[in-house]
Amino acid sequence: MDRLYTFGQYLKRKFQINIKKVPISIPGFTCPNIDGTVARGGCVFCENESFSPNFQKEKFTLNLNSTQNPLLQKQIKALKIQFFNTVELYKKIYGSKKFIIYFQSFTNTYAPFSTLKTLYEEALKLPDVIGLSIGTRTDSITDETLNYLKELSKDYEIWIEYGIQSSNDETLKKINRGHNFENVKETIKKTKDLELNVCGHLIFGLPGESQKEMLQSVKDTIDLNIDSIKFHPLYVTDNTLLAIEYKKGKFTPITEEDYIDTLIKAIKMLPQNISIQRMTAGTQNLLAPDWCRNKSKQISHIYKALLKEGIKL
Instruction: Give domain status of residue 99, yes or no.
Output: yes
Taking the C-alpha atoms of residue 142 and residue 162, their distance in angstroms, rounded to an integer, is: 14
Total domains present in the chain: 1
From the centroid of its chain, how far is CA 20? 15
Instruction: Give domain status of residue 14, yes or no.
Output: yes
Instruction: Give domain status of residue 2, yes or no.
Output: no
Residue type at 50? S
Q: In 3D, which of 121, 94, 79, 124 has the Cα closest to residue 20? A: 94
Instruction: Give domain status of residue 113, yes or no.
Output: yes
Instruction: Give domain status of residue 294, yes or no.
Output: yes
Q: How many CB atoms lie within 10 A of CB 51?
A: 17
Instruction: Give domain status of residue 257, yes or no.
Output: yes
Strands 157-165 and 197-204, bridge-based pairing: parallel
Task: Report pTM.
Answer: 0.92
Q: How many CB atoms lie within 10 A of CB 180?
A: 16
pLDDT recorded at residue 269: 97
Residue type at 106? F
Rg of the Cα atoms in the chain = 19
Instruction: Give domain status of residue 249, yes or no.
Output: yes
| DSSP state for residue 285 in the 8-state scheme | S
Spell out the SS3 assignment of 92-112. HHHCCCEEEEEECCCCCCCCC
The CATH number given to whatever domain includes residue 60 is: 3.20.20.70
Residue type at 2? D
pLDDT recorded at residue 53: 38
The residues, any chain, with a CB within 8 Å of residue 237's CB and separated by 6 or more, are 45, 47, 243, 283, 285, 286, 287
Q: From residue 61, how far is each of 30, 65, 77, 267, 305 by CA, in Å?
A: 13, 10, 18, 44, 50
One digit per residue, the tens of pLDDT, for the chain of length 313 reads: 688 999 999 999 999 999 999 999 998 888 888 888 887 778 999 875 444 433 344 444 433 445 557 889 999 999 999 999 999 999 999 999 999 999 998 899 999 999 999 999 999 999 999 999 999 999 999 999 999 999 999 999 999 999 999 999 999 999 999 999 999 999 999 999 999 999 999 999 999 999 999 999 999 999 999 999 999 999 999 889 999 999 999 999 999 999 999 999 999 999 999 999 999 997 878 999 999 999 999 999 999 999 999 998 8
Instruction: Give domain status of residue 313, yes or no.
Output: no
* Residues spanned by the domain of 125: 7-308
23: left (phi over 0), alpha (psi -120 to 50) or beta: beta
pLDDT recorded at residue 50: 43
Strands 157-165 and 129-136, bridge-based pairing: parallel
pLDDT recorded at residue 152: 98
Determine the Cα angle at 165 with ends 228 and 109, to 5°.
75
